[in-house]
Structure formats: structure tokens, C-alpha cells
Structure 1
């Protein structure tokens, strides 16, 4: 595959929805990636036990990586390591983040979520994760993003160099709302993977919206 230059604006991070079946989700993921630019995929464990989650992730991680989409595995860092994922997502607080960064950041990216306030975010940011995620997996049930996530994303993007992902809503158009905050990434799940959604067309629509309306980032010197 010929590498493409990533667009210089907010990009899409896909998030696997709760209760996803590996076979069905794999097909939807492939369709989504065929629709246009996707930066990465996060696989949260939700309520799956380690055995079931690893079985799910080991089918999905290669599908993403084969299309040059970074695969980030939530939860147990041992599963991420076994699957040779591109990253691990941590939700267990500052202590858990510090431990994973110490053990894993030289091998893969380490991202973090769970911040509900600016103080939470700053405390986690002191550990220098590779990204900050604002939102709760599985809670993109309304058309628009949660106002708190938007506010935190805007503040973080203005103040902190570490990239952030803001969870969008259940509508495709909500990605543009996220982009307007200055966040580097919009997290999309329901808007792409809900029943009846054409995942390829939804991704194409999101990229068109972002091309038309998302602020451009300054080039690195």
C-alpha cells in the first residue's frame, strides 16, 4: 500500500462499540476504512473477560494494521503486547498510567482517558501520555458530543501540546463540532457502526465535512 500524507486537520479515530461481534464488526471496520482517511482504532474491553476480549481483538487488530490504521487496545497491557498492537489505552488513573508508560511506552503508544475535570486531565498529562481521550466509551448516544467533553477538548487543545481525542456524538455531523474545538482527533463509534449505517459512506461524509470546515493545523517547523 502506498502511504498517503495525512490531512493537516482533525482526523477520525474509530471506536469499537459495546457488544460487537468480531465477524460483523470486522466487516463493518473494513467497509469504514474503505471510505476514506482513518487515523486509528480503539478497542475498549467493555465488560468482556480477558479471554473473550483477546479473542475479539486478535481478529480485529490485523484488519486495522493491514490498512495502515493504528490499532489501540484498551485494558490489559499484556493483551496489547501479545497482539503486537500499536498502542494501549489506559483508564485506571494516574498510578496505572505511570506504570504502563514505564513498562510499555518504548514499545507502543500509551493513551489515557477518564479525566472529568481540568485537574484530572493535568494530573494525567504530567505522565506524558501520547494522547488524552475526553469521553466515555459507549456513551455517544446523543447526536451531539457531550458539552463537558467539548469544553475539556477545547481547553486542552489550546493549552497542552499532547494531542487529544474528543468523543463525537451519534451523528456524522458531530465530528465537525469536535474539530471546531481544535482537537486533533474526533472519536466516532455509533455514527459509523450503528445498525443500518453504511460505514463506508459515513466515513466519506465525515472526511468531506472535515475537509470543508475543520481548522488547519500549523505545520511543524
Structure 2
């Protein structure tokens, strides 16, 4: 049995649930299903105060399960809730600012790399990871072909790890793993039926254990 670090690992994107307690329970349950490298907590249009309350509840849950809690939204919220990192979906200037201010104290990841040119621009800033796809871009069962192609291209030549957004079907995690990407992000695939979330996380890990390519040191 190889360690999950030797293959593509799962990243969860917290679903948009207005009720803080319910959102926290759903995430905690999912994390019981097995290995999750990190959890991205999107702001989903909440104002900063309400978002901070959500994050205060979620961050310790993620950290207790051994994952990195990443805030996609207000960087001040990330500091206040002692998150592990920031997921920046803004422009290059915003990313530059975040890298200068927060690395290496916090993980700083770059979303919003929609093509090769932009991805290379982002790569020059040396973020901790690059994310291909949108956090809510899981609208079809399979991962978006463009994101798979970007992930494969990036993973084959750049050392900075990449996360590729999967689809609404849990099996899309394997599609992503086969590109060589270090991480696959899932949202609807895990959370569409909250009661099933832990078993889906377990199923995805089993699938990746069995079929994902192994990384060489």
C-alpha cells in the first residue's frame, strides 16, 4: 500500500450551504471518509462578517482531520481564522500581493489560470499551487477537457503542483489523476448527497490507490 502522497490526492471544495452548522457537519462527515489533502472554503457572495463565522467553524474541522484549510475570499478572514492558506482567484496583481505578503507563512494558491499563457505568468510568481478550473465549475459528470489538457501540460513540465477541478461524477477523479496532476478537486461529486459524502471520499481514495499513476521522487 503506497502513501497517498505518492499519487494524486483529493481536495474538497466546501459546498454553498447557508446554515453554518449544517455546512460544518457535512464537511466533517466527508472528512471522515479518508485522505483529503486540503479543503477550499469559498466565500460564495457572503459578506466578510458572515463568511468569517463560516470559516471559524470550518477551519478547525479541516485541520483536525489533517487537511490544509484554504480560504478563497478575503485574506483578512484567512488571518483571523488561522487558516493554512489562501486561494486567490483574482488577477496577477492580487496574486503578486498575496505571495509577497503571506508566503511562506501561509499557502498561497492561484486560481483563474484559464490558458497556458496565463498559467505561465502565474507560475513566474511561484505560488504554492495552481488551480485549473473554477471552484464551481463542476457542471458535467466529467472534468472539463480544457482543464485536463492544461493539467497534463503543466504537470509534465512545471514543478509547482497543480489542482484540476473534477466533474460531478466521483470517477472523474481518476481522469484527473491520469493527467499527472498532483491533486483533484471535487465539490458536487462528494456533496450532492451529504449523507453519502464519507463513502464517496472513501471510494475516490480507493480508486486512486488502485489506479492512479505513482509519482517518482
Aligning the two structures, in what range does the TM-score lie when normalised by the shorter sequence? over 0.9
Q: How far is 1:27 from its partner?
A: 1.3
Native 8 Å contact 2:109 2:128 kept in 1: yes
Tell me which residue corresponds to 1:155.
153
Name the CA shift for 1:20/1:169 in 2 (closer, same or farther; >3 Å).
farther
Contact preservation (8 Å) 2:138, 2:166: yes
Aligned to 1:98: 96
Q: Which moved more, 1:100-109 or 1:194-203?
A: 194-203
Q: How many pairs does the alignment contain?
A: 216
Match of 2:85 in 1: 87
Between the aligned partners of 1:57 and 1:8, the Cα distance in structure 2 is 30
On the 8 A contact 1:93/1:124 being kept in 2, the answer is: no
Relative to the length of structure 2, the TM-score reads 0.96
Q: Any unmatched runs of 5+ in structure 1?
A: none
Q: Deviation of residue 26 (structure 1)?
A: 1.3
Match of 1:52 among 50, 53, 74: 50
Residue 68 of structure 1 and its aligned partner are, at CA, apart by: 1.1
| Aligned counterpart for 2:27 among listed residues 29, 38, 41 | 29
Give distance in 2, aligned partners of 1:87 and 1:49. Answer: 19
How far the C-alpha of 1:6 sits from its partner, in A, is 3.9
SS at match of 2:86: strand
Q: Is 2:193 the counterpart of 1:189?
A: no
Displacement of 1:195 after TM fit?
A: 3.0
Q: 1: CA distance between counterparts of 2:106 and 2:187?
A: 23
Match of 2:175 among 170, 174, 177: 177
Name the CA distance, whole Å, in 1 between partners of 2:124 and 2:165.
22
CA contact (8 A) 1:18 1:138 kept: no
Q: Deviations over 1:84-109 (max 9, x none)?
A: 11001111111110101111113111
Secondary structure, counterpart of 1:170 in structure 2: coil
Q: Which residue of 1 aligns with 2:200?
A: 202
For residues 202 and 141 of structure 2, the distance between their equivalents in structure 1, rounded to whole angstroms, comes to: 18
Q: Give distance in 1, aligned partners of 2:113 and 2:17.
A: 24
CA distance in 1, matches of 2:71, 2:48: 12
Instruction: Note if contact 2:4-2:209 (Cα within 8 Å) is conserved in structure 1.
Output: no
Equivalent of 2:123 in 122, 125, 131: 125
Q: Would you say the 8 A contact 1:64–1:71 is kept in 2?
A: yes
Aligned equivalent of 1:76: 74
Question: Normalization by structure 1: what TM-score?
Answer: 0.94
Deviation of 1:33 after TM superposition, in Å, equals 1.2
- Could you report, residue by residue, the CA deviation over 1:36-81 in whole angstroms, capped at 9, with x for unpaired residues? 1111100011211111111111110011111111100012111101
Give, in angstroms, the shift of residue 205 of structure 1.
0.5
